[in-house]
Structure 1
Amino acid sequence: MDAIETVLAMLLAVVASAYLVRLLPVGVPLPLVQIGLGFWIAAFSTHGIALDPEFFFLLFLPPLLFLDGWRIPKTGLLRDKTVILELALGLVIFTVIGAGLLIHLLIPAMPMPVAFALAAIVSPTDPIAVSAIAARTPIPKRLMHILEGESLLNDASGLVCFRFAVLAATTGAFSLASATLSFVWLVVGGISMGVTVTAGITWIQRWLTSHFGEPPGSPILVNLLMPFGAYLAAEHVHASGILAAVAAGIAMSYVELSGHAHAATRIQRSAVWDTVQFSLNGVMFVLLGEQLPHILKGARASLEDVGHVNSWWLVLYAFAISFGLMALRFIWVWATLRLTLYKKSRMGEEMERPHWRLLLAMSLAGVRGAITLAGVMTLPLLLPDGREFPARDLTIFLASAVILISLVAASIGLPRLLHGMEFPDEPHEQQEEDRAREVAANAAIAAIERAQIDLMSTSTEPDLYPQAAGRVIALYRHRLVEHAEHDEGRRFRKMDNAEKDLRMAALAAERKAIYNLARHGHISDEISRKLVREVDLSEARFR
């Protein structure tokens, strides 16, 4: 099987994993299935895929970080900013120092900078892996927002620490003053480049659209290229491409609020990005499984270099580092919670003490995944003097093992920890949604009334518009009544759900009838596609 066939097999494995995970017992996370399929591909492949670290980093990280920044809930990010910053910055530094010392203590022959590089690359958490577990395990919505915000920022902080550790390993020198200045430039330059690239591309795109129109598919392609542009621009000025991609995504979320994109573009763009995210995350885990035999072989060779012959030492190292990371995370979460409670009590504020099971769940939810894998694969093959990078294969193996162990621990532990717990509702979110629907419906009714007058004055059949306006306004009136207060509001919501069920049945019958007409040649394929798209958009709205 040549390289192209291997890549196609990996993409097919990503597709197959989505179906296999539905057949397996509840609790088996999707990334584990993808890793297993990758290992199976390696068993039947004549040769593996030789990875270029820089190419791997550029291909996978910018779009994933960009999308994380774009889709992260900004309200939750700002509301819990203190907790998120404590986890994304303080916990990362605490983990790098604690885990780095632990790794060097376990493996004295591993150079200290390499130990800190391994600690840095396993410090970021992965929201995609947690989401895969959360799909089958009830996790409080606010806790998920905190985990998402943490992963968004600790990707950048962990990878920046990783970059400094690798630099120290390759050059043999480390200056705190120089590192501090470099860190400041990496942060400021990276964020500035990300925002600038997004703003510049958006302005150019709007100018071109206003003067020449919008070619089909062009805005989506530009949007896909944006994270790569931000990343490369930042790297060109020696700033952090990682932070540039994140900042570009956050800036894009604010650009989206301007509402300049066409509705069809937004729908298609969302579908394209969902596919890109699913494909890139899936390929990364399949690739991890495909690389495991080679990684394991290299790790055994590195094990001999550090003075051990028995391969079981690899298992011992992997579990020791994994449980060390969980312990460090638990200590940090417990300590910061105690500090927060103390500050609140000093200020005279009451704060509900979280259940101990939530603290353990927070520790287990620190699942490592795509970012750790992408980062560790970028370790240089050679030092500047031509020698092999010390313990490279062992480092990659241990990072891969931490990913596997954290996934298994979370998939087994989280359902058991959170089983039977009752989580408080988020009433403010429902209130915000109801308020937004009410304001939007009133704006729509006012616009319909104005448009009715304008259209009646220019139309040759003005009598049509009062009746048409009445029908459209009735839909919005129903929406206003639907979100009334207290018991009446709940009753109308139940009625609305019943109406949705009936509409879904009607849309399915409508689509079936259209396809039946097309199959028998009563309408053309073009007309059938147009009508089915209208039905699909209606169904998407009700789903």
Structure 2
Amino acid sequence: MEIFFTILILILIVSLSGVITRILPFQIPLPLMQIALGALLAWPQIGLHVDFNPELFMVLFIPPLLFADGWKTPAREFLRHGGEIVALALVLVLITVAGVGYLIYWMVPGIPLVAALALAAVLSPTDAVALSGIVGEGRIPKNLMDVLQGEALMNDASGLVSLKFAIAVAMGTMVFTVGGASVEFVKVAAGGLLAGVAVTWAYSKSLRLINRWSGDDPATQTVLLLLLPFASYLIAEHLGVSGILAAVASGMTIGQSGIIRNAPLGMRLRANSVWSMLEFVFNGMVFILLGLQFPNIIETSMTQAERDPTIQIWMLFVDIVVIYAALMLLRFCWLLLMKKISQRFLKKRPMVFGDYGIREILVASFAGVRGAITLAGVLSIPLLLSDGTPFPSRYQLVFIAAGVILFSLICGVIALPLLLRGIKVSDKTAHRGEERMARAAAAAVAIESLHKMQERLAVDKEENIDDQLLAEVASRVVGNLRRRIDGKAGLGNALLIENLERRMRLNALRAERGEYYHLRAQQKISNETLVKLLRDLDLLEALLVESE
């Protein structure tokens, strides 16, 4: 029962966190608010205390979130920015592990080199979820945001694989060599991507059989879709490859293939609404769990630091600031180098950063905030070595990692709004023109299809439709579509007609819904009939509201 009540409390706090951020007189990004609420829950002695199991955290939260991000990531744009993503998610991670790792080894007393490299590995992944919570949607230029999201999708795997190597060396289960590590990394990464694609392919085949046997039952299909990221992750991990990349590959395969597009309508509607709800809850619980761990991390680190004569508590806070500054400086220099390389050697196909100035590069630097993967990674470091001795300086690693997460979020909250002020993100007029063009093109194709359908129905004796009735219905539908094409000449009038028609239809739908409830209260229709009629109205209303 305790676990059940804990889950209910966490979900309640997630739900209320958005409300609290809106009613406060000052603006706080949602991730920071959720971290603060988690810390307040855990700080008192009688507060909520949750044992953080890194393996359970990785299995429960990371696969569905990465799957959802991969689902929303267009493959064409991901491949178009492939050079930038590889340079940030792979090359920069390796440079960070080596450079920041040696800095930690040199700067923090008592930390061996392997432990310092492990800390640098968990500090290398960035968090796109935290970034979106800080700046909001549509505040960062789209090309840059595509790169940052692609980096966050891929560098989780490279950072955690580097951590795995460092822990294996510390535990004495492997001897590190550059060649061996490179081969192992390629095997883990490529295997994870292939595993995700293979599991999704098997899911698509099984979905067709289930549709045939279950009669297009949307509930069954949606549940199977919810299990897909977990299946991809667990199968990949069982095979010894990257489960994180498997979840990403699975989401991108779902998004780009025709699996969802060709799925029944009921499944598409349920899947979109269910995933939106799960994303909100899981994202919120990740940050609340982060906040729940901070008081215990601080208390444990302080206690152990007092017992260690070589450590001064104030130096741990200085280490956090210096390490974060080193991460930002290294990231800024690497982005600046990418800009120079693009301008000099990639003139035909320049990178995104080739046209950016110092201000945009600073935005990309501060956008590299740390989050849940960093904390889960550092807490996954074992307590004991293989010989039974404590893992060297583990409490320092956990304290510094938690401090860098919080400090990066605070710096992002302060710096990013200032840097983004006045930056033109996108031309809304161009977007509206693009939307009108697409609607007009689709309407032209639809009109042609309707004419062909009208001709077929006119000669079909089985339908037995009156020609006058057929012409009247066809002209009505074609007239609505033709307004989209003729909108170029009278755009304002066409938009006014569409908006007025939409408002009248919504008013009529709400009146119908009220009458259905009235008929049910008078026992003139059954509850089953009411549910079916209301579902039809909800689908029509959703269509009208989404088109606004």
The TM-score, its normalising length taken from structure 1, stands at: 0.90
Q: Cα offset for 1:289? A: 0.9
2:43 partner SS: helix
CA distance in 1, matches of 2:311, 2:304: 10
- Looking at structure 2, the residues matched to 532 and 30 of structure 1 have their Cα atoms a distance apart, in angstroms, of 34
Pairing of 1:153-302 with structure 2 (within 5 A): 153-171=154-172, 173-256=175-258, 259-302=261-304
Distance (whole Å) between structure 2 residues aligned to residue 411 and residue 385 of structure 1: 44
Distance between the aligned counterparts of 2:356 and 2:121, measured in 1? Answer: 29
Contact 2:457 2:465 in 1 (8 A): no
Q: Does the 8 Å contact 1:361/1:414 carry over to 2?
A: yes
How do residues 8-23 of structure 1 correspond to structure 2 at under 5 angstroms?
Answer: 8-23=8-23
Amino acid at match of 1:164: F
Report the number of matched residues: 536
- SS of match in other structure, 1:114: helix
Is it true that 1:84 corresponds to 2:85 in the alignment? yes
Q: Does 1:529 align with 2:534?
A: yes
SS in 2 for 1:261: coil
**Which amino acid counterpart does residue 51 of structure 1 have in structure 2?**
F
Alignment match, 1:355: 357
What is the rounded CA distance, in whole Å, between the counterparts of 1:115 and 1:495 in structure 2? 66
What is the CA-CA distance between 1:96 and the residue it aligns to?
Answer: 1.5
Separation (CA, whole Å) in 1 of partners of 2:388 and 2:497: 70
- C-alpha distance in structure 2 between counterparts of 1:118 and 1:526, whole Å: 56
Output the CA distance in 2 between the equivalents of 1:517 and 1:381.
65
Could you say what secondary structure the match of 1:217 adopts? helix
Give the match's secondary structure for 2:388: coil
SS at match of 2:218: coil
**Does structure 2 retain, via aligned residues, the 8 Å contact 1:27–1:133?**
no
In the superposition, relative to structure 1, how do residues 503 and 15 fare at CA in structure 2: closer, same or farther (>3 Å)?
farther
Give the TM-score of the pair, scaled to structure 2.
0.89
SS in 2 for 1:125: coil
Please report how far the alpha carbon of residue 500 of structure 1 lies from its aligned counterpart in structure 2 after TM superposition: 6.0
1:32-181 to structure 2, matched below 5 A, reads 32-43=32-43, 45-46=46-47, 48-135=49-136, 138-171=139-172, 173-181=175-183
The runs of 5 or more residues in structure 1 that have no matched partner are none
Shift of 1:134: 2.7
Which residue identity lines up with residue 39 of structure 1 in the other structure?
A
465, 470, 473: which is aligned to 1:465?
470
How many Å separate the matches in 2 of 1:346 and 1:74? Answer: 22
Q: 1:541 aligns with which of 537, 542, 546?
A: 546
CA separation of 1:513/1:119 partners in 2, compared to 1, >3 Å: closer, same or farther?
same
Is 1:513 the counterpart of 2:511 in the alignment?
yes
Report the Cα distance in structure 2 between the residues aligned to 1:63 and 1:347, rounded to whole angstroms. 34
Q: Residues 236 and 421 from structure 1, CA distance in 2 versus in 1: closer, same or farther, beyond 3 angstroms?
A: closer
Deviations 1:348-371 (A, max 9, x none): 999974232111111111112233
Decide whether the 8 Å contact of 1:341 with 1:351 is kept in 2: no
Is the deviation greater in 471-480 or in 343-352?
343-352
Q: Verify the 8 A CA contact 2:338 2:354 in the aligned structure 1.
A: no
Q: Using the alignment, how far apart are the partners of 2:209 and 2:93 within structure 1?
A: 42
Deviation at 1:312, TM superposition (A): 2.5
How far has the Cα of 1:307 moved from its partner? Answer: 3.9
1:425 and 2:419 equivalent? no
Find the counterpart in structure 2 of residue 380 from structure 1: 382
SS of alignment partner, residue 110 of structure 2 = coil
State the one-letter code of the partner of 1:297: E
Is 2:153–2:248's contact at 8 Å kept on the other side of the alignment? Answer: yes
Distance 1:117 1:15 in 2: 35
Match of 1:408 in 2: 410
1:18·1:30 contact (CA, 8 Å) conserved in 2? yes
Shift, 1:434, TM fit: 5.1
* SS in structure 2 at match of 1:459: coil
Structure 1 pair 189/468, CA: closer, same or farther in 2 (3 Å)? same
Gap change, CA 1:369 and 1:314, over 3 Å in 2: same
Greater shift, 337-346 or 197-206, is seen at 337-346
Amino acid in the other structure paired with 1:42: A
User: How far did residue 258 of structure 1 move?
Assistant: 7.1
CA-based RMSD: 3.0
Q: Which moved more, 1:449-458 or 1:495-504?
A: 495-504
Q: Larger deviation: 468-477 or 341-350? A: 341-350
- Post-superposition CA distance 1:212-254 (Å, at most 9, x none): 4222311111111111111111122211112211111121122
Q: Residue 364 of structure 1 aligns with which residue?
A: 366
Counterpart amino acid of 1:114? Answer: A
